A and B are shown apart, each in its own frame.
Chain A
């Protein structure tokens, strides 16, 4: 499997190896890590192993570590501002993914970089939550009427909101899967088990099982695999931490996956974490939740989960990614919606964006 055989995956499995790399190995590892968004993670792994990396590669690790620490701090600041915005309202706001890792001080938040903050609110409160964020400076960007319709009618989130002064971006969700998706999962169940964040009256994070299932669903249904190895490493960290913290975690995880209708994403998460990063995973019912053509899916994910770099690609890598991109759309909406949508994206989107920008005087 290409992903397993990549130098970067080897280092993630065995960070002690960071101590003995030659310059020509670093010449491959740094580009792989840049593509996967894992340079700062390498810095943190080296530090945790008590290793100091010298020379140019060491300078890149150190620089990435400083930037990641700063982003960590910035996420805390934004979360503080989000709490201030919702203060006094009765809307529960669940932090998802990166922001949740940081605020719960999980190990996968160390050396992690961020592009935006993901929030989940109950669908009934979506309009009010959007108004509250607007009022506190997070405004919608330039989106065409088509984009608005796409997001609001079909998706599980509204168009991204960007803060007018700090330029930080919030993705506001009301579900974890598109409304039109083939898999249906009830977001109400997630709120019922969400865990209050100490010191932030309106804010929550998902329960451990749900946090894992959400991250797995995100990675294995979206269709974009730019930072896939980083996302897999996040899952690996969660799968090592939670069972050690809570006995009975595995059984609870499988039960919850069935309840939330997310058994397939969980299957992929457990299978590929174990196959690529040697994550310890016990046998259980999850083994029967696989797809019809496991070898075919292995061929695609085995490529798409590798860093997107020439050193770990073959003739089929691009094709594999493309098929998964198509699969992402296929899972996202039924064909009678998907075909017109892809047609629009391929032939009309750019022209309409230009026109809409002109109209907005941008």
Chain B
């Protein structure tokens, strides 16, 4: 059963009471909130997600709620909590939905050591996945958003999860986090894209979320083998340049972007080395999304792929 098949009243009851269980790839998340804006965000962004089992195991139990107190009358706030633990300071209530998305990223990046977890976007086509690591501001999410509107499957725009056991990339297909100018760029690029209510004046500027394509959500239980590691860089006015990167350098940069590389120790090294081994590594500078789509469509799978 999909979330969109619940009646609005049923959805709201679940979110208010014991929690709404959603499947996101391998994950089951138990969500609770009484805030109307967050409920609306969930129903818009996760409508195409399947519900989880009521009496099963949830990876994370999260709540987005107002802290109460006198402040609620002056400057209402919102708190994210995981198992009753509050990892972040409260934010203005208008940022509630964005806080839920950041909180879920935090849950995964700080608890999921069954994967090597890398701060990177992941997309797949014809059975081969590209890992797009990049510091904030490099245009990684924008690039991901554009490519998944042009035939690539979204695994994640923020978290590359490399299974320690299989070396495959595990999808979550959650909404893509767009910031500032990217919001209008993606609206212009694909007028049919479903984008949620923007939250203004957050610590990252204005943010809005792009609903993951139905096909990506439907296939969120299908892992993909890594084929390329591509470090994107937005450069105003640049013509597209895809340049091969030495594997050693790609390894070091990818290790820098991993959340739990050093926490996993030797195991982290092994998984990362295997990943780099099976991939072709590039840096990619671009200014126009259409150029990027064109360049990515010509990517050939690694010939020496050790699979």
Contact = CB atoms under 8 A, between A and B. Distances in A.
B263 A67 contact: yes
A60 B110 CA distance: 11
A61 to B, nearest CB: 10
Interface residues of A, number: 24
Nearest to A35: B83
14 contacts: A24-B55, A34-B83, A34-B111, A35-B85, A56-B26, A56-B59, A57-B57, A59-B114, A63-B114, A66-B113, A67-B113, A70-B267, A73-B265, A309-B84
A24 B260 CA distance: 28
A308 interface: yes
A101 B32 CA distance: 40
A55 B114 contact: no
Contacts of B113: 60, 62-64, 66-67
Nearest to B30: A27
A27 B84 contact: no
Interface in B10-59: 26, 28, 55-59
A169 B33 CA distance: 37
A55 B56 CA distance: 11
A164 interface: no
Interface string B260-288: 10111111000000000000000000000
A66 B57 contact: no
B233 interface: no
Interface string B62-89: 0000000000000000000001110000
B61 interface: yes
B112 interface: yes
Nearest to A166: B262
Grouping DSSP codes into helix (H, G, I), strand (E, B) and loop, the A interface class, with mixed when no group exceeds half, is: helix
Contact of B84 (A66, A69, A310): A310
Interface in A50-106: 55-57, 59-60, 62-64, 66-67, 69-70, 73
B265 A24 contact: no
Nearest to A22: B55
- CB-CB nearest 3 A-B residue pairs: A63-B113, A70-B265, A59-B114
A31 interface: yes
Nearest to B59: A56
Given A60-B113, A63-B114, A67-B264, 6 more contacts: A31-B83, A62-B114, A66-B264, A67-B113, A70-B265, A70-B267
Nearest to A55: B57
Contacts of A23: 55-57
Nearest to A58: B114
B108 to A, nearest CB: 12
Given A35-B85, A308-B84, A309-B84, A69 B265 contact: yes
Nearest to A57: B57
B83 A24 contact: no
B83 A66 contact: no
Contacts of A69: 265
A62 B61 CA distance: 20
Contacts of B263: 67, 70
Contacts of A63: 111-114
A87 B56 CA distance: 55
